[in-house]
Amino acid sequence: MTTYLKSVPTKCSTAKDRAAREAATNELFAARAASSDPVEQQVLLERIVELNLEIARGIAQRFRNRGAETEDLEQVAFLGLMKAATNYRLDAEVPFIGYAVPTIRGEVKRYFRDCAWTVRIPRRLQELQGKISAKLPELEQLLGREPSTAEIAAGLDLEQTEVEQAMAAYGCFTTLSLDRPAEEGGLQLADVVPDEQDSAVSQLETVDMLQPLLEDLGPRDRRILELRFVENWNQSDIGREVGVSQMQVSRLLKRILTDLRQQLTPLPVAA
């Protein structure tokens, strides 16, 4: 098994590569399920994650330029991949990628919801901010002007660098109004923050999840889908091409699409 897995591409540019990765992933899951050794199970889990890192990295890249560091997004996506690999079961009707993608995406969205929009500073600096705020009026009255950081530090018996760090973190607890101008040109934050999901992201993720499902279809079913949705043929022409009636084409399409939708429905994501 080890020799075979070493030849599996982790960066997949073709349907053949993705199919090989999915097959290798299933092989690892099967070996993990058959093992009773916790150490071996952990090693196999790590191999599954390593084999599928590209999926997590790709999802993280699709959320870039939204106010979070790329490295942070990748770490969160890797955590989502680990969660997906830990909870996935081979007897599920959805292939691993169909479970992993919504799990990883949910983890990244949770990160944005909980962390990305508010800068969290150490409690020590929070406490210093409170002391500085309480001391400022007294120093201003005593000096008759706004005190310098050195004077604030002396008044609180602190190092000047500590005061500078605390003052640099001011504003981290306040959120910006969507009506606040985002730049001198007059745009407001509401004008630049999207109010709906990025359709391109959803489309790319759906394609990723569909690929292994399409590989499992029979030649005729794949041909029907290709003629209908790639070549844009009508049902009559498709029927003549594959040797069935237009009504049969309609029924076949309905059955194929229903099966794909059911397989694409994500499994519940474990908390």
Tens of pLDDT along 65-114? 666 677 888 999 999 999 999 989 888 777 888 888 888 988 888 887 76
- Please state the rounded mean pLDDT for residues 138-152: 83
> What's the pLDDT at 175?
43
Q: Same topology for domains 2-116 and 123-174, yes or no?
A: no
> What's the pLDDT at 34?
92
CATH code matching the domain that covers 123-174, chosen among 3.20.20, 1.10.10, 3.30.1360, 3.30.43: 1.10.10
CA dist 72 and 260 (Å) reads 34
> What's the pLDDT at 199?
47
> What's the pLDDT at 259?
83
What confidence tens digit (pLDDT) does each residue in 57-76 have? 888 888 776 666 778 889 99
In this model, does residue 269 exceed pLDDT 70?
Answer: no
Domain 2-116 class? mainly alpha
Q: Structure tokens of 169?
A: 């973190």
Residue 5: pLDDT band (50, 70, 90) is low
Angle, helices 160-168/123-143, rounded to nearest 10 degrees: 110
> Higher model confidence: residue 13 or residue 97?
97
CA dist 83 and 110 (Å) reads 14
In this model, does residue 138 exceed pLDDT 90?
Answer: no
> Higher model confidence: residue 118 or residue 68?
68
> What's the pLDDT at 62?
81
Domain borders along the chain are 2-116, 123-174, 217-264
CA dist 271 and 268 (Å) reads 9
Residue 174: pLDDT band (50, 70, 90) is very low
Residue 182: pLDDT band (50, 70, 90) is very low
